[in-house]
Structure 1
């Protein structure tokens, strides 16, 4: 079971690395729609969330020597 989960994680990481820019654009569009629907009430929260998500996606491509993404390393 753990091998299947590792394979799934590896595939997700590969897809995020290959299509990170498109994913980031999608996140921005979704945030914009939500911002419009809420009359800008949560603009700061949406901006923060989108930036963190984009940073995480970028971090998937920059793995550390142990093979784990920097953003997901366990302590």
Structure 2
């Protein structure tokens, strides 16, 4: 199984479930923030927002 196969499977899993994926990203971000220093919260939030933006771009 190559990287293309994994990417295809990931895209198929996300297709139509974007809101659920965004909720999962939020939960993962909160889990990371609870285990890291407070000054890293903005970095975690930035990464989560970029991931959500990427999901939105892929829907187009």
For normalisation by structure 1, the TM-score amounts to 0.62
Larger Rg: 1
Counting helix residues as a fraction of each chain, which structure ranks higher? 2
Residue equivalent to 2:14: 16
Structure-2 change in CA distance of 1:40 and 1:8 (3 Å): same
Aligned Cα RMSD in Å?
2.2
Q: Contact 1:35–1:41 at 8 Å: present in 2 too? A: no
Q: Which residue of structure 2 aligns with residue 43 of structure 1? A: 41
Name structure 1 gaps, 5 residues minimum: 63-75
Structure 2: runs of 5+ lacking an equivalent: none
Contact 1:17 1:58 in 2 (8 A): no
How do 1:1-75 residues align onto structure 2 when only pairs under 5 Å count?
Answer: 5=4, 9-62=7-60
Check whether the contact 1:28–1:50 (CA below 8 A) recurs between aligned residues.
yes
CA, structure 1 residues 14+37, in 2 after alignment: closer, same or farther (shift >3 Å)? same
